[in-house]
Structure 1
Amino acid sequence: MIINVRSLGKAKFSFFSITIATIFFLILFTGCIFSNIFLQNAASGRKEETQFSLTHISRRQFRSASLSSVKEEEISKGHKDPGEIPLAQNLSNLLRLAVLYKYGGVYLDTDFIVLKKFSGLRNSIAAQSMDAETGNWTRLNNAVLIFDKNHPLLFKFIEEFSLTFDGNKWGHNGPYLVSRVVKRVRKRPGYYFRILSSMAFYPVDWNKISGFFQKPKDQAMSRWISTKLFELNTKTYGVHLWNKQSSQLKIEEASIIDRLISDHCVLCEDIYSS
């Protein structure tokens, strides 16, 4: 089952399951969710048509899935300030956790280029940044979440959202939230999750993403691009494009992004036409 928490009612959609990299994305505000059943069928490589239900989640079901969170009710009654950050952004942070906790699967922001399938990943979250000397992570990100249903770490994320919600600090309810919680629980028994290196999904940070859009200006840059592409194709599952920073950038010919789209994007015909 694929769940879309927006008001879409009930419908049937058909997909041809070949590889995870060729799955059509179902949008959840700024991202998409694949259920475990959907991923298992896709990973099998079977080409036959498979039916999936697209089901509306009622307000009551959402409250059940989000456990102790009472933010929606508090905000609607004026008891909780939603803050300066757009409410949809913070609801997206919560909804991805609630739906994954209830159903399990993969959450993925839509500003990614997927390079290879995720079938070997389970109960995983990735580092956004790492200490160059120690190799330890310094910040995690919630743009990719791969978890079984009812996973205790997801429960802790939802609990943290409910207890510490702040609508005025960017990232407080997203990347900083998952980082806070993981720091607290990583040495406790019973959680069983994996922290992937930044190369897995965040091989370039938001303030350097423009370099991936630039064409080579000399031989040294051409060699750097070739080396980086080899590294990405061997170590990276998906490249986060940091859409807020990159949405206005032009994809220059022979740039890293140009090469990645040419090799991996299945929905990017006539990418330069606009």
Structure 2
Amino acid sequence: MCLYFVYNTTIKGYPSSKLAQSPAKTLSPLNVAMLHYRILPTTLDCVYCQKCAFTLSTTPLSRISSSTARPVSQLSDLLRVVLTWRFGGFYSDTDTVCIKDLSPLKNVVVTSHKRRNHISNGVFHFKHHHEFLTMAMSTMIRMYNPKHWGSMGPNTFSSCVQRSCNLRNLRYLFPENSSVPVTCGNVTILPEFYLLPYAWYEHRNILEPGKWDEFVKTHAKTFTIHVFGQVNKGMQVKIGSNSIYEGAARTFCPLLYIHASAKNSSF
């Protein structure tokens, strides 16, 4: 298995020249910790270039003009869907920690939070050319709103699940008090605790000291932890705090943990 780290040249804080000229040096912690990974650059020019290895010309999104102004988050929403549609595989945001073998999860999406009336696009798996992603690409065109960060992401995925399951409202997706995944056609919707045990508004729980042992006991079915780097920005993970994040990093990302904690009391 190979891990692909895909970046675009408009990532905040990383000028295109810095990443394009020396991606391996810029992302040096990955060099230390990972042997089976590839760093792939992409730009809007490459996405729309007919001569490039990757293009939108064979997808429904070819109807979106390359001159349309889009925030970086929406470009990311677009790329994750198109790349997974073309190649298949498991997508997750880079601020996700994997704590269990993901291979049992096939063609899955996950609810965003405990209310289960919204679908996340931050972590999912689909085989290549899957019908759900084809639907998602067509829906992106219809729902695109340059002022709304989620229009091509969670809102699109939520709309597609609603249509796949023939529901007027996603709150009817799971039977009351049920924790069993729901399958609609060829897509399975997982309850939040499988891949997103904490919603973005619960992000501080992930860094609270002393919670790791309790988490292990109560989350036996959890495969990944999303740490919400955007809202946790600036918060420090103290070495030895045994927080959920620190415990997960120490246990499941040992090489990166050693690199991050070397000569530091926090990371």
Normalising by structure 1, we get a TM-score of: 0.68
Matched, 1:154 2:133: yes
One-letter code of the match for 1:89?
S
Deviation at 1:117, TM superposition (A): 1.6
Counterparts of 2:217 and 2:139 in 1: how far apart (Å)? 39
Q: How large is the RMSD of aligned CA atoms in angstroms?
A: 3.1
Identify the match of residue 257 of structure 2 among 246, 268, 274.
268
What residue is the counterpart of 2:242 in the other structure?
Answer: 254
Mapping 1:77-226, distance limit 5 Å: 80=68, 82=69, 87-131=71-115, 137-187=116-166, 191-216=185-210, 225-226=212-213
Q: Which amino acid aligns with 2:136?
A: F
- State the Cα distance separating 1:165 from its structure 2 match: 0.8
CA distance in structure 2 between the aligned counterparts of 1:71 and 1:170, rounded to whole angstroms: 17
Q: Do the aligned partners of 2:203 and 2:228 also contact (CA within 8 Å) in 1?
A: yes
**1:67 alignment counterpart:** 60
Q: Secondary structure at the match of 2:133?
A: helix
Asked if structure 1 preserves the Cα contact closer than 8 Å seen for 2:109 and 2:189, the reply is: yes
1:227: Cα distance to partner? 2.5
Counterpart code for 1:164: M
1:238 equivalent to 2:224? Answer yes
Q: Return the structure number with greater strand share.
A: 1
Closer, same or farther in 2 for the Cα pair 1:246/1:90, shift >3 Å? same
* 1:264 Cα deviation after fit: 0.8
Unaligned residue ranges in structure 1 (runs of 5+)? 9-20, 30-55, 132-136, 217-223
1:228 is aligned, of 215, 229, 237, to 215
In the alignment, residue 146 of structure 2 is paired with which amino acid? G
Distance 2:5 2:35 in 1: 19
- Structure 2: tracts of 5 or more residues without a match: 10-19, 21-33, 168-182
Cα contact 1:124–1:194 (8 A) shared by 2: yes
**Alpha carbons of 1:190 and 1:244: their partners in 2 closer, same or farther (altered >3 Å)?**
closer
Rounded Cα–Cα distance in structure 2 between residues aligned with 1:152 and 1:172 = 20
Check conservation: 2:206, 2:227, Cα contact below 8 A: no
- Tell me, what secondary structure is at the counterpart of 1:194? strand
Match of 1:265, as an amino acid? Answer: C
Q: Where does residue 51 of structure 1 map in the other structure?
A: none
Verify the 8 A CA contact 1:4 1:57 in the aligned structure 2.
Answer: no
Identity %: 19
CA distance in 2, matches of 1:25, 1:200: 27
